[in-house]
Amino acid sequence: MKKIFKHVALLVVCQMGGATPGWCADVVDELSLEDLTKTEITSVARKTQNLASVPAAAFVISSDDIARSGALALPDVLRMVPGIEVAQIDNGRYAVTARGFNGRFANKLQVLVDGRSIYHQTFSGVMWEHDVIALNDIERIEVIRGPGAAIWGVNAVNGVINIISKHSAQQSGGFVETTIGTQGKLGLYGRYGGALDENTTWRASVQGRHAEPSKQFATGTDSEDRLESTLLDMRLDHRLGGGSDLALWFNATRSALGDLIRVPVLPGGVLAENSRQSDASQVLAGRYRWLTAAGIESSLQLSLNSSSIELEKYFREERKTYDLDYQGRYTFAAHDLLWGISHRTSSSSAQTPGSLISLRNHDVTQRTSGVFVQDDWTLIPEKLQLGLGARWDNTNIGGSTFAPSATLIWTPSRVDTLWAKYARAPRMPSQGENNVTMLTNFQPGGAVFTRVVAGTQILRAEKMEGLELGYRTQLSSGFNIDASVYRYRYSDRISSTQGAFLLGPPTIVELNICNCSAGWVSGAELSADWQVLPVWRLQLSYAWTRIQMDEAADAAVQADGKHTEQSTPHHHGSLRSQWNIAPDRQFDAWLRASGGYQRLNAPYTDMVKVPGYLTLDLRYAHKLGKDLEVVLSGRNLIGPSRIEYVSDYVASVPVKVGPSVFLSTRWKF
Partner 1 sequence: MAARWLSLSWRLLLLLLLALQPWSHACAQANNESQLKAAYLVNFLKYVDWPEATPTATICLFGRDTLGGYLAPYEARSIAGRELRIRRVTGPDQMGDCQLLFIPDNEEARYGAVLRWVERLPVLTVSDAEIFTRQGGAIALVRAEGRLQFDINVVAVSAAGLKPSSQLMRLARVVVGATK
Site residues for partner 1, 477-516, by CB under 8 A, read 477-478
If DSSP codes are grouped into helix, strand and coil, which group holds residue 36? helix
Please say which residue, 17 or 153, places its beta carbon nearer to partner 1: 17
Instruction: Single out the residue of 199, 141, 272, 238 nearest to residue 602, CA to CA.
Output: 272
- Which secondary-structure segment (H or E) carries 222? none
| Shortest spacing between CB 154 and partner 1, in angstroms | 24
- Answer whether 465's CB lies under 8 Å from 517's CB: no
Instruction: Single out the residue of 141, 195, 138, 144 nearest to residue 172, CA to CA.
Output: 195
Task: Select the residue interacting with partner 1 from 41, 197, 267, 503 (CB under 8 A).
Answer: 41
348 part of the interface to partner 1, by CB under 8 A: no
Task: Select the residue interacting with partner 1 from 316, 320, 329, 546 (CB under 8 A).
Answer: 329
Say how many CA atoms lie within 13 Å of 17 toward its Cβ. Answer: 16
User: Residues with Cβ < 8 Å from 373, sequence gap 6 or more?
Assistant: 337, 338, 339, 389, 390, 391
Task: Select the residue interacting with partner 1 from 210, 215, 276, 289 (CB under 8 A).
Answer: 289
Stretch that binds partner 1, among 143-151, 215-223, 518-526, 531-539 (CB under 8 A): 531-539
351 vs 313: CA distance, rounded Å: 10
535 part of the interface to partner 1, by CB under 8 A: yes
| Shortest spacing between CB 67 and partner 1, in angstroms | 14
| Shortest spacing between CB 130 and partner 1, in angstroms | 27
301 part of the interface to partner 1, by CB under 8 A: no
Please say which residue, 210 or 239, places its beta carbon nearer to partner 1: 239
34 part of the interface to partner 1, by CB under 8 A: yes
Stretch that binds partner 1, among 4-12, 269-277, 401-409, 539-547 (CB under 8 A): 4-12
Considering just the CA atoms, what is the radius of gyration of the chain in Å?
Answer: 26
- What's the Cα-to-Cα distance from 90 to each of 101, 214, 222, 257, 657, rounded to whole Å? 19, 7, 12, 10, 8
Site residues (CB under 8 A) for partner 1, limited to 236-275: 239, 242-245
- Answer whether 453's CB lies under 8 Å from 438's CB: no
170 part of the interface to partner 1, by CB under 8 A: yes
Site residues (CB under 8 A) for partner 1, limited to 551-580: none
Please say which residue, 274 or 476, places its beta carbon nearer to partner 1: 476
Q: Are strands 660-668 and 607-610 parallel, antiparallel or unpaired?
A: unpaired
Task: Select the residue interacting with partner 1 from 430, 527, 531, 652 (CB under 8 A).
Answer: 531
| Shortest spacing between CB 195 and partner 1, in angstroms | 11
335 part of the interface to partner 1, by CB under 8 A: yes
5 part of the interface to partner 1, by CB under 8 A: yes
Please say which residue, 470 or 659, places its beta carbon nearer to partner 1: 470
Site residues (CB under 8 A) for partner 1, limited to 8-27: 8-9, 11-12, 14-16, 18-21, 23-25, 27
540 vs 479: CA distance, rounded Å: 11
40 part of the interface to partner 1, by CB under 8 A: yes
- Determine if residue 570 is left, alpha or beta; phi over 0 gives left, psi from -120 to 50 gives alpha, anything else beta: alpha
| Shortest spacing between CB 414 and partner 1, in angstroms | 5
Task: Select the residue interacting with partner 1 from 52, 234, 270, 524 (CB under 8 A).
Answer: 52
| Shortest spacing between CB 475 and partner 1, in angstroms | 10
15 vs 8: CA distance, rounded Å: 11
378 part of the interface to partner 1, by CB under 8 A: yes
User: Residues with Cβ < 8 Å from 507, sequence gap 6 or more?
Assistant: 447, 448, 449, 501
Site residues (CB under 8 A) for partner 1, limited to 66-105: none
336 part of the interface to partner 1, by CB under 8 A: yes
Please say which residue, 36 or 503, places its beta carbon nearer to partner 1: 36
Site residues (CB under 8 A) for partner 1, limited to 191-230: none
Please say which residue, 25 or 485, places its beta carbon nearer to partner 1: 25
| Shortest spacing between CB 522 and partner 1, in angstroms | 29
51 part of the interface to partner 1, by CB under 8 A: yes
Instruction: Please give the biggest Cα pair distance in the chain.
Output: 88
Please say which residue, 312 or 336, places its beta carbon nearer to partner 1: 336
Site residues (CB under 8 A) for partner 1, limited to 578-617: 583
| Shortest spacing between CB 277 and partner 1, in angstroms | 36
Stretch that binds partner 1, among 122-130, 183-191, 211-219, 375-383 (CB under 8 A): 375-383
Give the interface size with partner 1 as a residue count (CB under 8 A): 77
Please say which residue, 5 or 669, places its beta carbon nearer to partner 1: 5
Task: Select the residue interacting with partner 1 from 3, 32, 445, 625 (CB under 8 A).
Answer: 32
Q: Are strands 335-351 and 357-359 parallel, antiparallel or unpaired?
A: unpaired
Task: Select the residue interacting with partner 1 from 272, 280, 291, 300 (CB under 8 A).
Answer: 291
User: Residues with Cβ < 8 Å from 564, sequence gap 6 or more?
Assistant: 101, 517, 519, 547, 549
107 vs 53: CA distance, rounded Å: 29
Say how many CA atoms lie within 13 Å of 627 toward its Cβ. Answer: 7
Task: Select the residue interacting with partner 1 from 376, 492, 529, 588 (CB under 8 A).
Answer: 376
273 vs 139: CA distance, rounded Å: 41
| Shortest spacing between CB 651 and partner 1, in angstroms | 43
Please say which residue, 10 or 304, places its beta carbon nearer to partner 1: 10
Please say which residue, 289 or 313, places its beta carbon nearer to partner 1: 289
104 vs 82: CA distance, rounded Å: 20
Site residues (CB under 8 A) for partner 1, limited to 114-143: 140
625 part of the interface to partner 1, by CB under 8 A: no
297 part of the interface to partner 1, by CB under 8 A: yes
Name the E strands within 312-362: 315-332, 335-351, 357-359
- The residues that bridge with 283 in the sheet, in sequence order, are 251, 305
202 CA to centre of own chain:
27
Instruction: Single out the residue of 365, 369, 367, 423 nearest to residue 392, CA to CA.
Output: 369
In 56-210, which ranges are continuous DSSP H helix? 63-69, 74-78, 149-152
* DSSP conformation letters of 84-114: EEEEE-SSS-EEEEESS---TT--SEEEEET
175 vs 668: CA distance, rounded Å: 4
Site residues (CB under 8 A) for partner 1, limited to 435-464: none
Task: Select the residue interacting with partner 1 from 112, 169, 246, 538 (CB under 8 A).
Answer: 169
- Which secondary-structure segment (H or E) carries 191? strand 185-197
- Determine if residue 224 is left, alpha or beta; phi over 0 gives left, psi from -120 to 50 gives alpha, anything else beta: alpha
Please say which residue, 373 or 559, places its beta carbon nearer to partner 1: 373
Task: Select the residue interacting with partner 1 from 295, 353, 412, 444 (CB under 8 A).
Answer: 295
- Answer whether 110's CB lies under 8 Å from 160's CB: yes
| Shortest spacing between CB 474 and partner 1, in angstroms | 4
46 part of the interface to partner 1, by CB under 8 A: yes
| Shortest spacing between CB 588 and partner 1, in angstroms | 16
